[in-house]
Every structure is written in C-alpha cells, then in structure tokens.
Amino acid sequence: MSRAAEAERAAPSGQLMQIGEVAEHLGLTPRTLRYWEEKGLLPPAERMEGGFRLYSPADVERLERIAQLKKLLGFSLAEIRTVVEADEELQALKRQSRAETSPAKQRARRERAVAILTEQIAILDNHIAQMQALREGYEARIRRLRELLDESGGRAAE
Amino acid sequence: MSRAAEAERAAPSGQLMQIGEVAEHLGLTPRTLRYWEEKGLLPPAERMEGGFRLYSPADVERLERIAQLKKLLGFSLAEIRTVVEADEELQALKRQSRAETSPAKQRARRERAVAILTEQIAILDNHIAQMQALREGYEARIRRLRELLDESGGRAAE
DNA sequence: CCATTTCTTGACGTTAACGTAAGGGTTGTG
DNA sequence: CACAACCCTTACGTTAACGTCAAGAAATGG
C-alpha cells in the first residue's frame, strides 16, 4: 500500500486542492484543466510557492458548471467562455458589493447581477424549449402509433 | 440575372431536391451533407442518372432533425447516428407495416416502434431535466439577489 | 537527505468535422 | 451543340480540444 487507503496528499492547506485531485473529482484530466485555463475559461488559478496550482472550493464549483455546460449545451469552449465570463462578473460584483459602502451602488450592482443571470436563464430556456419541441414531435408519433394499436387490439383480447 | 429570380433548377423531378438546394435550406454546405452520408448518418441517398444526389422531402426532414440534434445536444456524429438509426428503424417498420398482412406482426412492430420512440424521449428528458436543474440554480441566485434588493429598497428610500 | 509522487512547462500527436482546391462529368437552356 | 451552373470524387488542409511524452522541478513521508 503505497498510497491507497490514505489520501492525505489531498490537503495541501485547508480546503485547497491540487490539480490532480480536482481532475479526478470532475472525471477529467489535469491536462484538460490546464487547457481550459489557457483558453481563459477560468481565472489563472492560485499557485503555491513552487508553482503548483491550487483550487478553492469556489474554483471547483465553477469548473463543475463549466463541465456541465459543455455536456449539456454542446457549446464550444469559446461560447462557454462568454457564459462563464458573465458568471465571473457576478463573482466580482459580489465581492465589490461587500466592500461597497454606498447602498445606491450596491443596488446598482445587484441589479446588474440580476440582469446577467436573467440572460443566462434565457439561453437555457431557449435550449429547453427547442428540446421540448423535439420531444413533442416524438410524442405525437407515439400517439399515432398508440391509436393504431388501440384500434387493432382494443376491442377484444382474442 | 442569370438565375436569380427563377430557381427552376430546384425541381429535377417533382419534389426531389439536389444537394445544393438542400444544403442552403438547412444552412449547411454540400460538403457537410456528403460527409454525413459518408459517416452513415443518412441512407446513401438516391441518385439521378449522372450520379447527382436527389433528396426526397422525407430525407430533408431527417436532415433537419439531425441538424437540430447536433445543435441541441452537442452530440458527436457517432452518437447522433445511434439516435438516427433508431429513427431509421422506425421508417423501416412503417414501410413493413403497410406491406405486412398479419395483424399480429403489425402489432409487434408498432410496439417496437413505440419502444424506440420512448427511449429517444428518455434521452431528451434527461437532458431537459439537467438543464432545468441548472436553470433552477440561476433562479435561486436571482431570488437571493431580489431579496437583498427588496430589503434595501422596500422599506425606505433613504 | 533521499525516494517517490505529483506537479511544471513545452512540444508534438490525434480525432472529429468539416473546408478547400483540383480535375472532370452532368444538366438544363438557347 | 455550346455553355453556364451545378455536381461528382479524391485528396490534402484546418481548427478545436484535448492526449501523450519528455525533462525537470517541487512536495512529502521516512
């Protein structure tokens, strides 16, 4: 047992995870995470002294969403980046909001955040609607088939 | 005006269309259609004497669905082929059903068709559900922001 | 301090899904 | 039949999204 039972390497410091761990958690490879970073899908990621990447729980969460978007929407990374950038703007707004003393500015930022989220939702809704339309097509075909089945079998059991 | 106003070339015979027309109709290129055919996403397509491809309205419809699936699900062509193959099986079932004299066999085929369609719907439902979950996440964040907005703005103007 | 493991940055390889160009037939029209 | 517009196949080029390999540093347990 070189390192089987104890995954103690997993805790470089508090909650922070290294790239390998994150990758495994997401079912991806370290290479993919570096590639995504290179392409600007996530902020350059913190490093520890020697240059090893460290991911916060928030980072991991963001990565999870990216992975989901990729799977669900089938967008290219470039397209996903625009979505993620909006997301990032949200994070920035949050941080600024906390530091912000003026209630008026806070309000403005929050309203902007709502606008961004609303836009993201619209994108999703669009996709959902199209998929439901497709689904409806399939259902219609099923109904027609069911009618035929009922005609031929509904009367008697034979 | 060499051929602007009159797209008479569009009708080689009745309803059949040539590759260029179909491509334009779908917002794709001829190359893409040939590639799809090469990859088995559609049946080898009818040809006219000289070897020009001819597409029936049914073919076009099938192509429309393929294009939609690609856009919506982001599946690879290989994955889409499995979906399309199911679809094709349906078409075959339909044709056989008409030629089929035995009501029992007809029934069996139709039930099989329903099963196939149900499976396709399940795939779509799965995707839809995941997207709705994502959507719900965004909505929750909006609600939290709205609460904050109401707090700061609902009581007094300050 | 040493061994082992995990990380780092290149750099080149790979696959899918086409784009593009070459060379040459086919079709419909005048 | 001549001609433009379209189509055919073949083949090589391209881009995205990684995979893989190499050489070397950094972390950690003993």
pLDDT tens for each residue of A66-114: 998 888 888 889 989 988 888 878 878 878 777 777 888 888 888 888 9
Q: Report which of A138, A34, A125, A83 is spatially closest to residue B132, judged by C-alpha positions.
A: A125
If one compares A86 and B49, the residue with the highest pLDDT of the two is: B49
Q: Which of A26-40, A66-80, B66-80, B118-132 has the highest mean pLDDT?
A: A26-40
Each domain of chain A, given as residue ranges in start order, spans 1-73
Fold entry, domain B1-73: Multidrug-efflux Transporter Regulator; Chain: A; Domain 2 (1.10.1660)
Q: Which residues contact B84 (CB under 8 A, 6 or more apart)?
A: B41, B42, B62, B65, B66, B69
The pLDDT of A3-11, averaged and rounded, is 42
If one compares A6 and A125, the residue with the highest pLDDT of the two is: A125
Q: What pLDDT, on a 0 to 100 scale, did the predictor assign at position B95?
A: 79
The contacts found for B116-119 with CB under 8 angstroms, 24 or more apart, are: B116/B86, B116/B87, B116/B89, B116/B90, B117/A138, B117/A139, B117/A141, B117/A142, B117/A145, B117/B90, B118/A142, B119/B86
Q: What pLDDT, on a 0 to 100 scale, did the predictor assign at position B67?
A: 92
Q: Which nucleotides of D are covered by protein (CB under 7 A)?
A: 4-10, 16-21, 25-29
B120 confidence band (pLDDT: 50, 70, 90): confident
DSSP letter for A53, please. E
Residues in A 36-65 with any Cβ partner in B closer than 8 A: 65
pLDDT above 50 for B29 = yes
Q: Where are the alpha helices (DSSP H) in chain B?
A: 19-26, 30-38, 57-73, 77-99, 103-154
Residue A2 (CA) to nucleotide C4 (C1'), in angstroms, measures 9
If one compares B150 and A29, the residue with the highest pLDDT of the two is: A29
C-alpha to C-alpha distances, B111 to B84, B89, B99, B117, nearest whole angstrom: 18, 13, 17, 10
pLDDT above 70 for B10 = no
Q: What pLDDT, on a 0 to 100 scale, did the predictor assign at position B132?
A: 94
Q: Which amino acid is at B114?
A: V
Q: Are B75 and B69 in contact (CB under 8 A)?
A: yes
What do you get for the CA distance between the two ends of chain B, in Å?
Answer: 69
Structure tokens at A123: 């994108």
Cβ B37 to strand D below 7 Å: no
Q: What pLDDT, on a 0 to 100 scale, did the predictor assign at position B128?
A: 92
Q: Are A33 and A43 in contact (CB under 8 A)?
A: no
Average pLDDT, chain B: 84
Q: Do B113 and A153 touch (CB under 8 A)?
A: no
Q: How far is A82 from chain B (nearest CA, A)?
A: 16
Q: Which of A6-10, A58-62, A138-142, B28-32 has the highest mean pLDDT?
A: B28-32
pLDDT above 60 for A4 = no
The pLDDT of B111-140, averaged and rounded, is 90
Q: Report which of B6, B31, B5 is spatially closest to residue B19, judged by C-alpha positions.
A: B31
Of B111, B124, B138, the CB nearest to A134: B124
pLDDT above 60 for B125 = yes
Of A74, A124, A125, the CB nearest to B74: A74
Q: What pLDDT, on a 0 to 100 scale, did the predictor assign at position B154?
A: 53
Q: What's the CA gap between B72 and B141, in Å, rounded?
A: 25
pLDDT above 90 for B48 = yes
If one compares B32 and A7, the residue with the highest pLDDT of the two is: B32
B105 confidence band (pLDDT: 50, 70, 90): confident
Q: Which residues contact A14 (CB under 8 A, 6 or more apart)?
A: none
Q: Give the three-class secondary structure for B55.
A: strand
The pLDDT of A123-127, averaged and rounded, is 89
If one compares B10 and B86, the residue with the highest pLDDT of the two is: B86
The pLDDT of A116-123, averaged and rounded, is 90
Q: What pLDDT, on a 0 to 100 scale, did the predictor assign at position B12?
A: 60
The pLDDT of B33-51, averaged and rounded, is 94
Residues in A 90-119 with any Cβ partner in B closer than 8 A: 90, 103, 106-107, 110-111, 113-114, 117-118
pLDDT above 50 for B156 = no
The pLDDT of A62-66, averaged and rounded, is 91
